[in-house]
Chain A
């Protein structure tokens, strides 16, 4: 139970800051610091278990179908990392309290910091790879927001965007890699993945998975050639740089290398990729660090270089290298965070971070200066400081490599990198605190507020303590952490200041002397101040981004030119391609199973349909004619339902056809009755070709299905129609009983469509809708008027009859309602809307509403008897002349259907009809 609490603490802090009514700097910093300290307490509570090498777990299913579980897992490595996240986090919060200016919003800053802290903790203790990716993305997003914290500054916005582009893309690669690993292993749980190293390494997909995961790690940890986002992220407030971009987020990449080490490492591919990337990053980063003009820029490139060093160590195939890597993670976090904080103090007190203006600060801020000097000596790898110890271990490991040519290449470049590191450290010390007089925009500099320095002091003391007496300070922590990575016993090693006179020590001495000499040569006469530090990588990034954006603009412009016709064509074409692909892939067509001989009537209906369609195409611009013709096609469809044993469908189709023809004709009063002629362009032929292809494809598809045997679930419906639902008409039984929930949705859709039509036409008057046809004098056909008046009662009776018998014979709510609707519409046409509506109840909204309620109520009624929603019961009542009528609750449901369909159909038609009458009155 401790794990979820640990994870929840930072998020809770963020939530408190979100909802608190007023947030000052003290309050905000206090809340986040408390969360971090409480988290440290939880970690301390877990310490005994970690010393014993236990793994603590917490598991909740989240989306089991996707393999995503909310599982948390903490082992030594995760524990150590969580301690860095929370410990440095607490110090950074304290520091930021003093760093932040009066007008910087503390709620946003500390809230985001807490959010990031939670996300970072999540990465360390996630027990499921998918969950890890979720937190991974969360750090990218919170980092984006923190880099862009001063969003009025263009460099902050650009830096934030660049960081998000690179790390976000890396996150997507990681997701893909994780999916591949999950596919190989069969589980996303970390325990299963870590135990399946051999399976993963022998899988054919191993290389792809490896490269994708490494891309995720390398982007996050700013490895060459994807390193350039980190220097630009220095536009962030300095506490953010100290926290995210030196101690934690950029370490997420190397954390991932360590985490996945048992699963992915140990192959040649791993060795070559990781080692060479790490090596080049280390050397290039260190070399670029020397020539920066920005204090934080130097630190950023130095961070890149150190991350390269750690990556290189993870790439080597000895266990001792892993120990060294873990050790350097710890050491780098302490000295680099303190250096960033010192840089922030300098920036804060002098108003600049430019080496060319910052000189000779030792006289004005001696304490800060002393702290920074000690930390940079650690960065350079000077004895008595922690940086020296891990650098010694690193050099020893590079000398132990067995792969030629890496056995001499890596040590040589490691020496070069170490030399550069000494040179940039020397520059940091010399150029800032000595080398002339400061030219500060903020007046004469002085020491910062007392508490702003405390975090730096704490970290520097840690550097010293670890550097002087490693076996008494860091040894147990390192052991726990390294054991967590290796998932087993550790190799023999000793942490000590003095290992005797050996090759690594010689290397260190050479690096120190040569590094100082290199700096001296480069800096003669302040030569470094005149160097151009324009970052080449940024130019490349910008150019690439520009090209990508230009390309997508071109594609967008080509696809999306504002013509709906064209979109539709593209859409249909893609459907065509998708649909024909399987046909072309499997062209074998088995002989038709059984073929029915064509019925002579069927041929007649076929001819009617085809002739109708051709006529519609021929006269589609003569719109009144086209409507009549399309009615004929609908009639043919209805007839084919008759021929193919679907009486319900035939009736429905026939009735709907009548109403829609009437509706279309009514609408034609407000549309041009003759369509505009089209220019005879080639595109029409393209359309025709696409249309023919669609037709051929559909025919092939339908014929392919029809000529193959079927296996239907429908016998179930036939067997249980009478015993379970008490109806002989299986179609109606399915509609109102077995699949009544579908029907409920469908009548709701129907009702909504009618209401939308009502809403759209309600305010519209003839002024809005200029008519296209001038009506002739209004002639009332007496014959029609009289006959409809006679017909209406008959139609009502017919409708009721169809409704009541619908459960056992063709009929039912849909059909019965449509019959009545047709009769009523006829009445409207004969006598006019006003005349009719005066005499016929016409509040069609109420019909829709009551109908939906009735359908719902019968469904809910079954709850009262302890059955699930929409279960029907079936007592029968005998009514003379109609026969046994099921008094099933399904009847109530069907009544609801009836009311909705009648109400909605009438509402649609009467809205259009009323438009006409308004105009007539005007």
Chain B
């Protein structure tokens, strides 16, 4: 299970990095989305994996981490998910404005070969 998660995070990260290194703003946003999946999963995993033990306190379950998943990384990731969405939206709008300003969706603001 650990290897499964770790490899999935690695694949997300690799694909994200590759897309982030593309020259077009939209690819970059896709890449960042993938990277934020990877990072959120990674932070989440730092609390270790505990299938079937949600961090909601139930009667009869001892208040230990043996009985519950670690709530702290979850709390951190919850807000991180929302904030990465805000970041995506912001970048999207920046990409729109950049393209309307320069006429190109290249990250450098001009088509390769054009001399600004």
Binding site for B on A (CB under 8 A): 562-565, 568-569, 572, 592, 595-599, 602-603, 606, 609-610, 613-614, 616-617, 620-621, 623, 626-627, 630, 633-634, 637, 640-641, 643-649, 652-653, 656, 659-660, 663-664, 667-668, 670-672, 675-676, 678-679, 687-688, 690-692, 694-703, 705-707, 710, 712-715, 717-719, 721-722, 728-731, 733-735, 739, 742-743, 746, 749-750, 753-754, 756-757, 760-761, 764, 768-770, 808-810, 814, 818, 901, 904, 908, 911-912
Contact = CB atoms under 8 A, between A and B. Distances in A.
A701 B3 CA distance: 11
A753 B58 CA distance: 38
A675 B99 contact: no
B38 A698 contact: yes
Given A697-B10, A702-B10, A753-B83, 9 more contacts: A565-B22, A617-B15, A640-B5, A646-B74, A678-B23, A691-B21, A696-B10, A702-B6, A750-B86
A609 B10 CA distance: 12
Interface residues of B, number: 85
12 contacts: A606-B4, A634-B33, A645-B50, A648-B74, A667-B95, A675-B27, A712-B47, A712-B72, A731-B55, A757-B93, A769-B96, A814-B82
Contact of A750 (B52, B77, B82): B82
Which applies to chain A's interface (DSSP): helix, strand, loop or mixed?
helix
A743 B13 CA distance: 27
Contact of A691 (B15, B33, B71, B74): B15
Interface of B: 1-27, 29-30, 33-34, 37-38, 40-42, 44-58, 63-65, 68-72, 74-75, 77-79, 81-83, 85-90, 92-97, 99-100, 105, 107-108, 112
B4 A698 contact: no
B17 A647 contact: no
A749 B22 contact: no
B10 A695 contact: yes
Which applies to chain B's interface (DSSP): helix, strand, loop or mixed?
helix
A715 B96 contact: no
Contact of B56 (A616, A690, A739, A809): A809
Contact of A730 (B20, B41, B56, B79): B56
Nearest to B71: A730
A722 B56 CA distance: 10
Contacts of B44: 641, 644, 646, 649
Given A721-B57, A728-B57, A649 B81 contact: yes
Nearest to A713: B72
A718 B61 CA distance: 11
B79 A620 contact: no
A739 B74 CA distance: 12
Contacts of B94: 760
Given A637-B40, A676-B24, A715-B64, A695 B51 contact: no
Given A602-B1, A675-B24, A749-B86, A695 B77 contact: no
A572 B13 CA distance: 12
A718 B57 contact: yes
B71 A617 contact: no
Given A687-B18, A706-B5, A739 B69 contact: no
Contact of A648 (B17, B78, B83): B78
B33 A714 contact: no
B63 to A, nearest CB: 4
Contacts of B1: 595-599, 602
Contact of B99 (A660, A670, A757, A809): A670
Contacts of B52: 645
A660 B56 contact: no
Given A595-B2, A645-B52, A718-B71, A730 B100 contact: no
